[in-house]
Structure 1
Amino acid sequence: MIRKARARLVASLSLLTVEVVLMGGVFVASALLFFYLTRVVFAASSVQFDTWAFVRLDALRAAWPLLTPVVQALTFFASLPWLVAAGIGLPLLLRYWGHRHEAAEVFGAVAGASLLNQLLKTYFNRLRPDSALIVQGGLSFPSGHAMIGLALYGCLAWILWRHRRHPVWGLLLLLFALLIGITRVYLHVHYATDVVAGFAGALLWLILLRGIFQFKNRREKREGNR
């Protein structure tokens, strides 16, 4: 019994160490990427990457004009109405199904990313491209669709992976979030740098959120064992 308990403890600690190292590496890489993009956009005023992305996606739109309605439908799944519905409805469903911690994680992912995105947009105050194919208000950097969308779908993917439930669905959710980000450049409502910065911001927030909930869960366990 003691050997089995020790083996389980060692296995758990090794997994925890791998997770901490991995999450720490992603956090640092995301922070560096976000900082680099701010220098490219606001210090160097470089438009090379943004122009390249517009040219490539414009060529795709010209070659496949029927793709535009599909893109417009896809981009809806990170729009404000959808995110409000998902950010409230999914936590309520998860809580109803008995997943209290997961419900709080999803709500925190959407609400926190939304608040952080607005703060960053206000601070950087970048205007949207003047060549947008659809009417879109607000500021541009970082992309809210990319940032909040990845926060939502990334959180759901993490929950599925953590519970060993259909990991393929988790990967598809991440791919879905990436595609939504690309739609914003396709529609010219965001620059490519806005979208990449949004992805980086989402990863930063998700890792911070994961750390907050881990700390909270450990404290609850310690209090429960007293």
Structure 2
Amino acid sequence: MYQLGASFGLILFVILGYVVKFYPHVLSGFDDKVQGAIRCEMLEALTVFFKFVTHFAGFVYVPVILVVFTAFFLIKKWYAELIFLVGNVAVMPVLVHILKGIYGRSRPSVVHLVVEYGFSFPSGHAATGLMVYGCLMVLICQRLHSSSIKWLIRVLLTIFIVLIGISRVYLGVHYPSDILGGWLLSGSLLLLGYPIYDEWRFKWRFKGVQK
């Protein structure tokens, strides 16, 4: 089931990337409408908020989050969880950088509220945000017993992932379709990697390698 979801997501990403590369005008209506809705009220408070939120998927806070959870997983002897989180998050920026070079999409021609360089598709922040907090959602909920707490964590982290994506559009550095591309890519890889992680986690716990 996970492989099926991952395959479907990757197919959608390839289709979206093809349209971005060769028929960008097809997406202009969607991008303009969503961009206009998100940027219709450029309030100072919103700008401060989204500048703060966007850092949680960038080079400012992600390394800190990884260090904190790496230390926690080592203390708990959760080695499969450690490899799953760090491995996925480490691969994402490299893959996004390569894909941005392939698609070569310029950033939106609107006022940028933060400084960004390079190409636009897919969004690295959207992809990284989903990967970091998606991994944490999976790993934390896997260890919890309370259904209500699991539900709360899933809702909160999902909202946070969406806010990170919205922040990139609000700040003017990405098209909405860039965000969608980042989510499709990251979500597909997360689904693809989860069964492998879960199998190794089971084996290592059975052998006493980890708790």
TM range (shorter): 0.7 to 0.9
Among 20, 29, 33, the residue aligned to 1:52: 33
Q: Displacement, 1:170?
A: 2.7
* Alignment partner of 1:137 is 2:117: yes
Q: Displacement, 1:133?
A: 2.0
How far apart are the structure 1 equivalents of 2:92 and 2:30?
Answer: 25
Deviates more, 1:46-55 or 1:191-200: 46-55
RMSD after superposition = 2.1
8 Å CA contact retained: 2:80, 2:200: no
Unaligned runs of 5+ in 1: 1-20
Moved over 6 A (4+): 221-224
Structure with bigger gyration radius:
1
Q: Displacement, 1:56?
A: 0.9
> Between Structure 1 and Structure 2, how many residues are aligned?
201
CA 1:220–1:74: 2 relative to 1, 3 Å: closer
8 Å CA contact retained: 1:153, 1:177: yes
* Alignment partner of 1:184 is 2:155: no
How far apart are the structure 2 equivalents of 1:67 and 1:217?
Answer: 42
Q: Displacement, 1:186?
A: 0.7
TM-score (norm: length of structure 2) = 0.85
Among 23, 28, 37, the residue aligned to 2:16: 37
Unaligned runs of 5+ in 2: none
How far apart are the structure 1 equivalents of 2:129 and 2:102?
Answer: 21
8 Å CA contact retained: 2:113, 2:172: yes
Aligned to 2:156: 172
TM-score (norm: length of structure 1) = 0.80
Q: Displacement, 1:183?
A: 0.5
8 Å CA contact retained: 2:3, 2:192: no
Q: Displacement, 1:103?
A: 1.5
8 Å CA contact retained: 1:157, 1:170: yes
**RCO higher in 1 or 2 (8 Å CA, sep ≥ 6)?**
2
Deviates more, 1:70-79 or 1:165-174: 165-174
Aligned to 2:65: 86
Alignment of 1:1-226 (within 5 A): 21=1, 23-46=2-25, 47-61=28-42, 64-131=43-110, 132-164=112-144, 166-167=149-150, 168-217=152-201
Q: Displacement, 1:198?
A: 0.3
CA 1:148–1:128: 2 relative to 1, 3 Å: same
How far apart are the structure 2 equivalents of 1:74 and 1:222?
Answer: 40
